Structure formats: structure tokens, C-alpha cells
């Protein structure tokens, strides 16, 4: 190989083409025209990630050999001494993904080739059907089925169900109220309805979004068992993972966890004791492709599949990274997909496309995706105090969103 190519600049691009604020890292190199991009999106804390990259990572990275992805990842993770956490991991992910993009461009190969090559031609995806009542959820799921989707997540009233069974106390503050007990009752009825109406062939997913008390999650997994979910997602909060064994002992509902984890070691026991069935890491949240590849290999040794987190607060660049891992991983399960608006395809040329429920790569070298920086600049991020995450129980007490 020719002489060493080094990192010349590390640039942070903030943009908001849709509802999510996105953080993209662009690394330019000593080779004219050669650059890579990566996803560092932590949509609720974009400025913290930007500062971590510009003030802390960038000075450390300038002049380093772009080929040394592993060494750069390992040293980026420890050279602040205190490590992990969503801000720092997202910052490292943006760099890590951009370096994989560069390595692919240098090799003239898509990133999935560098991981070991394709296990499949395309990745089956699941999409989100919601509705105000079981009939509306069914109708929206049918619309996706008509488009060829074979995996559908069914929710009713978003996370938590929104319907509050009990009265709020006087002077209860504003917020996103929900009643966990009412949620359980309504969701089981909705899933029963959807399964009865749509038949056995369609694969269904449901996301509890860590909104139940642990013992109620145990009950939910048992109650939903007859309806044969493809998986039940985030039945427990990261703080309650000690309860997974209880769910496992009492039902065969497949379990998926956990987009909220930061450190891959948080999965270690869940995987090695076979307490879950799908790992659902948010790739940028754990630090990029490098740790995701390792976690997928570890999970594969225990018969556990991947289902990387992929809603709209994963950037299009992050979705491209997900797809490369999906195409390679022998233990791929399914990929969450967000049905991008047209503006995302304009701003991010190369964003993968779905046909008949499968997400296809474009075969370009690297991640196969770019960013139109002029267009991105026309969509600046809006600084708001996030509302949907201000979640409360019926008595007004704050809980996890």
C-alpha cells in the first residue's frame, strides 16, 4: 500500500431535515478528495457531542494514520480515563464510522466486505404501525403489508398508550402521562386483535419501552405468549435487568434488549446466560461499528441474533452502518427501519432503499452514503426542551420515557 494517509480535519455537521436533530462527523484526510462520514447522533444532547468531538477528540486525532481503526478506537475510549456514556460514545462512533468509510473507499469495497462479506443479499426490516385503537393499528399494519413488509411493530397511542385509567391529582404538572397498568391491559387486547385479524404469517413486534414495573413485565410476557411475537422489546429498563431471568422462567416470548445500554459489557450476562434473544444496540451509542462487530460475534456464540436500533434518531449515515453489519452478521435477525422522508434521500445521497420489505445496499465503496453539506446547512437544528421524554405516572411522578 502507498504511504500513510493521515487525518487532516474532523468536522461536526449538525442538521435537522426531519424531527430528529442529527450529528454527522466528517473526517478529511491527507489524500486530496478522500474523506469519510459517520453518525454521532444523540438527538437530545447534540451540543454536548459536538463539544466532545471538537474540543477533545479532534486535537487527539489530527495527524493519525486513518488505517488504524482498532488502535484509534481503543485509545479514544481510554485516553479520557473516565469512559463510556452516551456523549463520549457517540463522539467516538462518529469517528469510528468515518474511518470505516475511509477504509472501504481506500480498498474500493463496501464496508460489509471488510467485515467478512455478505451472509445475505439484503436485510429484512420492520416498520412501525401505530393507531388510536386496535382497528386503526390493524389498518396501518395492513398498509405496510401491502407494500411487502413482513415484520411490523404494533403500538397503540405511542409508548405507554397515553390513556390514563386514573384521575390526576390537583396541580399535577404538565407532561406525557401514562398508566402502566392500563397500558398492559390495552396492549394485550390490541395485540390479540391484530394477530386474529392479520393471521399467523405476518411477524409482529411490540416495544414496552421499559414502561412497566418489573413484575408487570413478567405478566405481560406471559399474557402475550399465545400471539407469537417475533420479539418483545425493552420489557425491562437497564436498571432492572436482574428480572430477565424471571421472565425467561415463565414464558417463551422472544426478548429484545436494549437500545439504552452504553457499554457492551452491559450485555455480557444477558447473552452468556441466554436471557435475551436479540441485541438491539444503538450503534452510535455504543461507540460505532468496531464494538458492534465484537458484540455480534459474541452473541452469535450463544445463538442470539442482532436487531440494531434504527428509528429516526439514528441518522441516515447510522442506518447505512446498520445495513453493512446486517449484511455481514451470520446471526442477523431483523433491522428496524424508519421509512425516510424524501428530504433524507436528497440530503444523504446513497441512503439505502427498501423493496418488498428488504433493505438493499448500493455497492459503493465505504458506507456508500454521503452528505450534501449545502443542503444540510439549510436545515439547522432547532433547540427545544424535549417534551415526549417528560413522562409521568398518573400521580404526576416522573418516570423513564
| Active-site amino acid positions | 159, 209
What's the sign of the alpha-carbon dihedral 384, 87, 231, 362? positive
Provide, rounded to whole angstroms, the least separation between the CB of residue 283 and Mg ion: 14
Label residue 152 left, alpha or beta by phi (over 0 means left) and psi (-120 to 50 means alpha): beta
336 sits near Mg ion (criterion: CB under 5 A): no
Selected range binding Mg ion among 7-15, 155-163, 200-208, 368-376, rule: CB under 5 A: 200-208
Selected range binding Mg ion among 43-51, 58-66, 199-207, 378-386, rule: CB under 5 A: 199-207
Task: Please give the size of the binding site for Mg ion, defined by CB under 5 A.
Answer: 1
Provide, rounded to whole angstroms, the least separation between the CB of residue 284 and Mg ion: 15
Q: What does the per-residue mask of binding to Mg ion show for 65-84, with x meaning CB under 5 A?
A: --------------------
CA distance linking residue 299 with residue 278, whole number of Å: 9
Contact 366, 104 (CB under 8 A): yes
Selected range binding Mg ion among 61-69, 189-197, 204-212, 377-385, rule: CB under 5 A: 204-212
CA distance linking residue 255 with residue 383, whole number of Å: 35
Report CA 149 to chain centroid distance, whole Å.
Answer: 19
Provide, rounded to whole angstroms, the least separation between the CB of residue 130 and Mg ion: 13
β-bridge partners, 44: none
Rank residues 207 and 313 by Cβ distance to Mg ion and give the closer one: 207
Provide, rounded to whole angstroms, the least separation between the CB of residue 207 and Mg ion: 4
**366 φ, ψ (degrees, to nearest 5):** 75, -145
Rank residues 138 and 207 by Cβ distance to Mg ion and give the closer one: 207
Selected range binding Mg ion among 205-213, 243-251, 262-270, 392-400, rule: CB under 5 A: 205-213
Provide, rounded to whole angstroms, the least separation between the CB of residue 389 and Mg ion: 13
Q: How many CB atoms lie within 10 A of CB 29?
A: 20
207 sits near Mg ion (criterion: CB under 5 A): yes
CA distance linking residue 93 with residue 87, whole number of Å: 10
Cell output for 48: 454536548
Footprint on this chain of Mg ion (rule: CB under 5 A): 207
Amino acid at each position: 500500500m502507498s504511504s500513510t494517509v493521515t487525518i487532516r480535519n474532523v468536522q461536526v455537521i449538525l442538521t435537522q431535515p426531519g424531527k430528529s436533530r442529527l450529528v454527522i462527523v466528517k473526517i478529511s484526510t491527507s489524500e486530496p478528495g478522500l474523506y469519510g462520514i459517520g453518525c454521532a447522533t444523540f438527538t437530545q444532547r447534540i451540543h454536548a457531542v459536538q463539544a466532545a468531538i471538537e474540543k477533545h477528540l479532534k486535537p487527539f486525532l489530527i495527524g493519525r494514520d486513518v488505517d488504524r481503526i482498532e488502535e484509534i478506537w481503543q485509545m479514544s475510549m481510554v485516553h479520557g480515563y473516565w469512559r463510556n456514556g452516551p456523549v463520549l460514545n457517540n463522539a467516538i462512533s462518529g469517528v469510528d464510522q468515518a474511518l470505516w468509510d475511509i477504509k472501504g473507499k481506500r480498498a474500493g469495497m463496501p464496508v460489509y466486505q471488510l467485515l467478512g462479506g455478505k451472509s445475505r443479499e439484503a436485510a429484512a426490516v420492520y416498520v412501525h404501525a401505530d393507531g388510536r385503537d386496535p382497528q386503526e393499528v390493524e389498518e396501518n399494519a395492513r398498509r405496510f403489508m401491502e407494500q411487502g413488509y413482513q415484520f411490523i411493530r404494533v403500538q397503540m397511542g405511542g409508548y405507554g398508550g397515553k390513556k390514563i385509567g386514573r384521575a390526576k391529582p390537583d396541580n399535577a404538572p404538565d407532561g406525557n402521562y401514562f398508566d402502566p397498568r392500563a397500558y398492559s391491559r390495552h396492549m394485550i387486547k390490541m395485540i390479540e386483535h391484530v394477530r386474529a385479524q392479520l393471521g399467523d404469517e405476518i411477524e409482529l413486534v411490540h416495544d414496552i419501552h421499559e414502561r412497566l414495573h418489573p413484575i408487570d413485565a413478567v405478566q405481560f410476557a406471559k399474557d402475550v405468549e399465545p400471539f407469537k411475537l417475533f420479539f418483545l422489546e425493552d420489557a425491562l429498563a437497564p436498571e432492572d435487568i436482574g428480572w430477565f431471568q424471571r421472565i425467561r422462567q415463565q414464558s417463551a416470548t422472544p426478548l429484545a434488549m436494549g437500545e439504552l445500554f452504553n457499554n457492551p459489557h452491559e450485555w455480557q450476562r444477558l447473552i452468556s446466560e441466554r436471557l435475551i434473544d436479540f441485541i438491539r444496540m444503538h450503534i452510535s451509542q455504543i461507540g460505532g461499528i468496531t464494538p458492534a462487530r465484537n458484540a455480534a460475534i459474541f452473541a452469535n456464540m450463544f445463538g442470539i441474533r442482532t436487531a440494531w436500533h434504527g428509528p429516526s434518531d439514528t441518522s441516515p449515515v447510522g442506518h447505512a452502518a446498520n445495513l453493512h453489519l446486517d449484511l455481514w452478521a451470520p446471526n442477523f435477525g431483523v433491522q428496524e427501519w424508519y421509512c425516510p422522508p424524501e428530504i433524507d434521500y436528497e440530503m444523504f445521497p446513497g441512503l439505502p432503499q427498501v423493496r418488498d420489505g428488504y433493505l438493499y445496499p448500493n455497492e459503493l465503496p465505504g458506507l456508500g452514503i454521503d452528505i450534501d453539506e449545502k443542503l444540510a446547512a439549510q436545515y439547522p437544528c432547532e433547540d427545544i426542551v424535549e417534551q415526549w421524554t417528560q413522562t409521568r405516572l398518573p400521580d404526576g411522578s416522573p418516570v423513564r420515557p
